[in-house]
Every structure is written in C-alpha cells, then in structure tokens.
Chains A and B, each alone.
Chain A
Amino acid sequence: MTYSPHTDADRARMLTAVGVATVDDLFADIPASVRASGWDLPHPLAEQEVRAELARLAGHNRIPGVSFLGAGVYRHLIPSVVGEVIGRPEFATSYTPYQPEVSQGTLQSIYEFQSLICELTGMEVATASHYDGATAAAEAALMACRLTRRSRVAVSAGVNPDYRRVLETYCSGPGIEVVTVPIDLGTGGSGTTLPERAAQALGDDVACLVAAHPNFYGQLEPMAELAEAAHAAGAQLVAVVEPTSLAVLEAPGTYGADLVAAEGQPLGIPASFGGPYVGLMAARMASVRQMPGRLVGATRDVQGRKGYVLTLQAREQHIRREKAASNICTNQALMALAATAYLTAVGPNGLREVAELSTTQARHLVGALEAAGLAERRFGGTYFAEATLRVPDAARRHAALAERGIVAGYLPERDEPALGDTLLLAATELTTDDDIARLVDALEATR
C-alpha cells in the first residue's frame, strides 16, 4: 500500500501542466550509463499483511519474565502519560523548530528539558540532546580538548565499555589519543578508579578525565577526588552519570564536574533493542560557545509576548560549516520530550522513590543471594542499584537461566577477562520480591 493520494487523472493533469508526456520523461536527466538496472524487492503489502509480518518478527523475540539486566539500559516504569505526550502528532510529526512562530510547543518543551537536566546535574547549561550517552560522552571529551587546547583524553575503565569504544572512534577523527585509567579489579577491591592512577595518567597534555558514577560495575566512584586530580593537572572532569540516581546522589556540578554526559533512556524510554535513546550533555555557561548540539533560549516577540527560539546557532554546522564544533543536525528531540514528560510525571518525590526502590531491591537481591550462599560481592565499597557479584560458573548458569526466561544480569567477562565468573545484576522499582526469589531458586538449581 502506498500513501500517495494521486489518481491517474491527477497525474495526467500534472504531466500536462509540466509539459511532458510520461513520468519517465521526468527522469531523462539521468545518464543512460547509470540508470538503475532494476531491483528485486518484495511486492507491496496490504495493512493486515504488514502487521502479520511485524508480528512474526516481534514473536521471535522472547521478552524474559524475570530480568536483572542493566549494563547501561534499564527497565523502569514508563508512566502511561508519557506515551500520550510523545504520541501527539504536533510533537511527533513536526520538524526542527526553524520557524519559531509555529514551533513554540517544541521550543518551550526543549527549554523545559534543558532546565530539568541542569537541575538534576547541578550544571548551568544543557543541550537539546545527543544521540545517546556514549556519543554525549565522546562529544564532551572532544569539547574538553577544545577548551583546554590539549590533545589527549583519559578515561576510567569504570566507564561503560561500549562508551569507551565510541570515545576511541570519535577521538580517532581529530587524532586525539585515549588513555585508559584502570580501576581496582582486585577481589574485595574498590572496583573504582584509583585517584593515584588517575593523577599519573593526567599529564599536562591531557584535556579531561572521563569517569562514571555509578560506574559500569555499579560502584560509586570518588568523584570529588577525581575532580581535584583533574583540576590539579589543568584538565576537566567529564562525569558520566545515571539520571535516576541524581534523585538522591549529589549533583555533578556540586562535586566539581566541568562537563556532564549521561544516557537518558531510564527516563521514560523503552529498551527498544538499543535505540532510539537520548544523550544528555551539560556544562558551565563559560564554555557554552564550544558546546555541540542545539540550544533553545527565551526571548520576546514584537508584541511583548514571551517566546523561545533556537539560539547560539553560530556554533552549529548550518552556519559554521567546517568550523563547527560538531556536525550534529538531527538529534533525539522526541526522546528528550519523553524524558521531560517522565520527569514531570514522577516529580522529585517520584524520582526519589524510583531511586530508593531500586537501591533497596538491589540490596535485597544481593543479600538474598549471599544468604543462600550463591554469590558474594566482587568488590568492596558501595554500589548504587547494580552490583557485581562473584558467581561460580557464571556463564554456564546464566545461559541455563536464560533458557528458562530469567536473565541473570550481564556477564562482565565479555569486556573484562579479569571478571570471569561474575554477574552484573541490576534492580529497579519494577523488580519484585518474587523476581528475586525466582532468581535464587533458579541459581540454586544450577549449582
């Protein structure tokens, strides 16, 4: 089925007006040597057939009944009202707000988004979104290079391995070297970036230290100390944070972060096999001219009405072209709106409850596994709502549980060989006591 409304009569009228005999005449400007030779594509489908096909594919996924998988993507409740907001066709089917007089809905909602992100992170300016947390972190590192005029970046091994791969790729563009600062991987160790190792890595040619809090392994990092180490070396601290944790954890702006990057997926966005998500980036006003991404600002119109516009556009590709800080054009606007709707729906009390439930259930989970003699914490220190546990024969048992519809978290050995026989388990406000009991039973059965 197609969506063109044109009948043969419509087409005939237009062809006559244009002054050509057939529609093929409209393609006469394509040199014969490069005309398409034909293609082998499926025939059109009616709506019921299309639905059958998509249902077939959806049916081939098995959504686990019980899951403790996080590792950067978290299953949270998405309030019903969020879908109502982003489903509004005025938001979904509008374009980038280049004509502000008819885009105040989009523009004001972005301004609200920017405000919310600043409030959560304790920073002074936030962009209208990036593709995801990984690219936000990479762009923040490149921004730090521009601000400090240095050409090396230090990243903690506690940052999500996927993010570190993306950082390497982005830095390879302008030839910026990435140095990895190890975390304490010892059994019973901190599982965090050691400030002395960070200080060693921070030479006078290093633009920033990128560290995550909580880190990929769920551990809380000594961020204030890392900020000090970075600043002492004239570098910036790029804090990669988890947005729901900011309901209860101190804002990065308060402990000395210069730049903040985060994945906004936990804020009302489904897992959707990896995307679309939303990258959050925040900074201080003094750096705003080096920030990549769109910014919305408040102003007034000719009649004294308050209004919002895209602003500081001279930073962006459509004006600055080869001198732009980044090439970003399309961003993740509708997902940013989802995050805005989510944060509005839950409010400060709701977000705090999400964080408290998540941390309580994570401790319940760890405690239950420890009590049953099934697992022990791999690291000392404190975790937020995700913990790395030592589980004998983890890979085999993880696979066995998956067969039974239980996903026992993530296997850190996929990225870090020193973490064999461990599981990274996350809890959220959706984790029930029953889920935990089922996990305990299932792991017991696979001893």
Chain B
Amino acid sequence: MAYPDDLAYSKEHEWVRVDGSRATIGITSFAADELGDIVFVELPEVGASLSQFGTFGVVESVKAVSDLYAPVSGEVMDVNEALRTAPELLNSDPFGEGWIAKVELADATEVDSLMDATAYAAETA
C-alpha cells in the first residue's frame, strides 16, 4: 500500500499536509477502512486550540467509534463542512475531499516527529 508521499503520518492514523504556516489534517485510508462505512464526524470548532496527540473530534462508523487525535498543535481556521452531510467522503477520498480541518501551526517542528509515507506503510503492513 502506497500512501501519498507529500504527507506526514501519526501513529493514530492521522495525516498532515503542510502549506507554509498552515496545515490540513485528516485520517488515513487505513483508519477509514478499519472503521468501515463512516456515518458521522464530530468536527472541532473553528477557533479551537489543538495540542499534538490530544483528541479533537470523533468519527463514527456503523460498528465503531474512534477519537480523532491531532497530529499537530495549532488553531483551527477551517473545518470541512461537507463532512456534515457527506461523512462518506472519509471513505471515498480520505486524503483529498475528506480533509477534516485546517490549522494555523503552533510549532512547525512538530511535523518532524511524525512518520513519512514509507514508514507509515511499514507501520500498517
């Protein structure tokens, strides 16, 4: 399984795409597959302050519930409103249309502690 190589990955199966001082975060296809058909996402509020590896939301499938753990710290600038009515985007396009939130990074060096695509692929093999 090859994961997008422009992303960084956390052990809790979240990904980060860094763009200057901003980052977009989401869950990986591995997490989405484990959960099964996702039916609901509890999104963070805009303005909320996330700390790395702290919980920031919940994702629910038909048969499971999982906390979302922030891969990086920062302030939430935007959330993907589309997920409110189409949570299935997390299954169909977890790395693209299924993005969860955009944050203003508190500490850009935090990304260094995450895995790259190769390491994550090994982790989930």
Contacts and interface: CB of A to CB of B under 8 A. Distances in A.
A310 to B, nearest CB: 10
A145 B115 CA distance: 41
Contacts of A314: 39-40, 60-62, 64-65
Contacts, number: 15
A314 B62 CA distance: 7
Q: How large is the interface on A (under 10, 10 to 19, 20 to 34, 35 or more residues)?
A: under 10
Contacts of B63: 313, 319
Contacts of A319: 63-65
Nearest to B64: A319
Most buried by B among A314, A319, A320: A314
B40 A323 contact: no
A53 B65 CA distance: 50
Interface in B35-74: 39-40, 60-65
A364 interface: no
A314 B65 CA distance: 6
Contacts of B64: 314, 319
A319 B60 CA distance: 10
A289 interface: yes
Nearest to A289: B40
Interface size class of B (residues with CB under 8 A): under 10
Nearest to A319: B65
B65 A320 contact: yes
Interface in A301-330: 313-314, 319-320, 323
Interface in A389-434: none
A147 to B, nearest CB: 14
Nearest to B39: A314
Contacts of B65: 314, 319-320, 323
Nearest to A321: B65
A210 B108 CA distance: 50
B67 to A, nearest CB: 9
Interface in A54-75: none
B118 to A, nearest CB: 33
Contacts of A313: 62-63
A319 B64 CA distance: 6
A289 B65 CA distance: 13
A319 B40 CA distance: 14
B3 to A, nearest CB: 27
Nearest to B42: A289
Contacts of A289: 40
A289 B84 CA distance: 14
Contacts of B40: 289, 314
Contacts of A320: 65
Interface string A152-172: 000000000000000000000
A319 B62 CA distance: 9
* Shortest Cβ-Cβ A-B pairs, 5 listed: A314-B60, A314-B65, A320-B65, A319-B65, A319-B64
Interface of A: 289, 313-314, 319-320, 323
Given A289-B40, A313-B63, 7 more contacts: A313-B62, A314-B39, A314-B40, A314-B61, A314-B62, A319-B64, A319-B65
15 contacts: A289-B40, A313-B62, A313-B63, A314-B39, A314-B40, A314-B60, A314-B61, A314-B62, A314-B64, A314-B65, A319-B63, A319-B64, A319-B65, A320-B65, A323-B65
